[in-house]
Amino acid sequence: MKAMVLEKPGPIETRPLVAREVAEDLLGPGELRLRVLACGVCRTDLHTVEGDLPEARAPLIPGHEIVGLVEEVGPGVSLVLLGRRVGVAWMAGACGSCTWCRSGRENLCPDASFTGLHRDGGYAERAVVRADFTYPLPEAFDDVQVAPLLCAGVIGYRALMLAGALAGGRLGIFGFGSSAHIAIQVARHSGCEVSVFTRASRHAQHARSLGATWVGAPEEPPPDPLDHAVIFSPAGEQVPLALRYLARGGTVACAGVTMTDLPGFPYAHLYQERTIRSVANATRADARELLNLAMAIPITTSVEVLGLEDANEALLRIKQSAVSGTLVLRPG
Model confidence pLDDT, tens digit, residues 130-173: 999 999 999 999 999 999 999 999 999 999 999 999 999 999 99
Q: What is the pLDDT of residue 30?
A: 98
- Do 175 and 318 meet the contact criterion of CB atoms below 8 Å apart? no
Indicate the average pLDDT of the chain. 97
Dist CA 3 CA 7 (whole Å): 12
Q: What is the pTM of this model?
A: 0.96
Dist CA 113 CA 94 (whole Å): 6
Is residue 33 scored above 90 in pLDDT?
Answer: yes
Is residue 55 scored above 90 in pLDDT?
Answer: no
Model confidence pLDDT, tens digit, residues 276-313: 999 999 999 999 999 999 999 999 999 999 999 999 99
pLDDT confidence of 183, banded at 50, 70, 90? very high
**Stretch 95-111: mean pLDDT:** 98
Q: What is the pLDDT of residue 54?
A: 85
Span between the terminal Cα atoms of the chain, in Å: 11
The Cα angle at residue 210 between residues 209 and 214, in degrees rounded to 5: 80
For each of the domains in the chain, give its residue range(s) and CATH number, in order of start. Answer: 2-151+281-330 (3.90.180.10), 153-278 (3.40.50.720)
Model confidence pLDDT, tens digit, residues 123-136: 999 999 999 999 99
Report which of 44, 124, 126, 143 is spatially closest to residue 86, judged by C-alpha positions: 143
113-114 and 169-174 as β-strands: parallel, antiparallel, unpaired?
A: unpaired
